[in-house]
Amino acid sequence: MIDLHTHSLLSDGILLPSEMLQQAKSTGITTLAITDHVDLSNIDWVIPRLVNVCQHLKGQGVCLIPGAEITHVPPELIASLVEKARELGAMLVIVHGETISEPVPLGTNLAAINSDIDILAHPGLLTQEEAELAKQRGVALEITARKGHCLTNGLVAKIAQKVGAKLVLNTDAHTDTDLITLEKAEKIAHGAGIEDFKMLIENSRQIVDTRCSSFFKLCN
């Protein structure tokens, strides 16, 4: 299992990164990205701490990847924040998409896809235009295990598969009980209408190999 969207107590999660590593290990997760929520108020504080702790926890059986989830910022600020996150050392950058369970600013999905991001998290009522642009730009669209955000998984899967956009499956975990086994992930994918579950894991692996190859080597 590879999970590229989780949160620690550096944002709204409840676990230390060290605790997350141990919980991930017990769940059978081999690679875990900690992508805490950031905006202009905390981006320069959160990311360096994640980079530091992920480096110090290498070789512990789970590769921790330092990342960031840009959350609820005005669409016109997304691109600059993505760039800032990269400069600060975030290996993976995702954007909090237009989930129907929160009042995300309209236009977030398109602005995010047009930025240098890896994953558009829980994109909500995804349009074909957005999915086609994601395919062109190599941005992965997320199938999520997170309560509330998961309500549009079926639509996201349907449109992404129709146009051939890349899909990944993550938990958006905020605590230990949010992390899931490979078997549970496969059931969630099947429930969303995705038969090729191995494709989801392979897409996540490709993101890690592309964005995090140098960091990933430190984990082994």
Which comes out higher in pLDDT, residue 211 or 169? 169
State the chain's mean pLDDT as an integer: 95
Structure tokens at 188: 């969630």
In tens, the pLDDT along 18-54 reads: 999 999 999 999 999 999 999 999 999 999 999 999 9
Cα separation, 173 vs 164, in Å, equals 27
Assign 3-state DSSP to the chain and report helix, strand, coil percentages, each to 5.
45, 15, 35
pLDDT band at 217 (very low <50, low <70, confident <90, very high): low
What's the average model confidence in pLDDT over 68-93? 97
E strands present in the chain: 2-6, 31-34, 37-38, 63-70, 92-96, 119-121, 140-144, 167-170
pLDDT band at 59 (very low <50, low <70, confident <90, very high): confident
What's the average model confidence in pLDDT over 175-181? 97
Q: Does residue 29 contact residue 59 with C-beta atoms inside 8 Å?
A: no
In tens, the pLDDT along 3-16 reads: 999 999 999 999 99
Cα separation, 128 vs 165, in Å, equals 10
Which pLDDT value is given to residue 213?
72
Cα separation, 152 vs 115, in Å, equals 23
**Helix crossing, 43-56 with 75-88: angle to 10°?**
40
Q: Which domains, from first to last, does the chain contain? A: 2-218 (3.20.20.140)
Whether residue 218 is predicted with pLDDT greater than 80 in this model: the reply is: no
Cα separation, 179 vs 172, in Å, equals 8
pLDDT band at 185 (very low <50, low <70, confident <90, very high): very high
Residue (of 40, 61, 57, 59) closest to 49 by Cα position: 57
Whether residue 216 is predicted with pLDDT greater than 80 in this model: the reply is: no
Which pLDDT value is given to residue 100?
98
Which pLDDT value is given to residue 220?
56
- Burial class from Cβ neighbours inside 10 Å (0-12, 13-18, 19+) for residue 92 reads buried
AA letter at 101? S
What's the average model confidence in pLDDT over 101-120? 98
Which pLDDT value is given to residue 29?
97
Decide: pTM greater than 0.75. yes
